[in-house]
Amino acid sequence: MATVVEEYRQGAAVEALAQRHQVAPKTIRRVLDAAGARSLPDELDVPPTDIGEQHRVPASDPDATPRSAGTARRSPACYW
């Protein structure tokens, strides 16, 4: 049980753990739930305190060419 929890915390997928231990994914989920490994923190409904730091948008590249969805042209053969 401890190895399953450790592997899950290191990033292993439930399905991969189930295959590795030759059990159903539901069994792995039950083990993880019993250990509290899949529980989420209680603070999820509270917004972050420093929103600017949490959600920085990367600076745009001034040399980048903007793309537009409507600029692609079709060949005349596709209209008939």
Instruction: Report the share of the chain in percent with pLDDT over 70.
Output: 50
Task: Give the ranges where the chain is alpha helix by DSSP (H).
Answer: 2-9, 14-21, 25-35, 51-54
What local confidence, expressed as pLDDT, does residue 67 receive?
58
Between residues 22 and 58, the one the model is more confident about: 22
> What local confidence, expressed as pLDDT, does residue 80 receive?
56
The tens digit of pLDDT for each residue in 12-37 reads 999 999 999 999 999 999 999 999 88
Q: What pLDDT is stored for residue 29 in this prediction?
A: 94
When pLDDT is cut at 50, 70 and 90, the band that residue 51 belongs to is low
Between CA 1 and CA 7 the distance in angstroms is 10
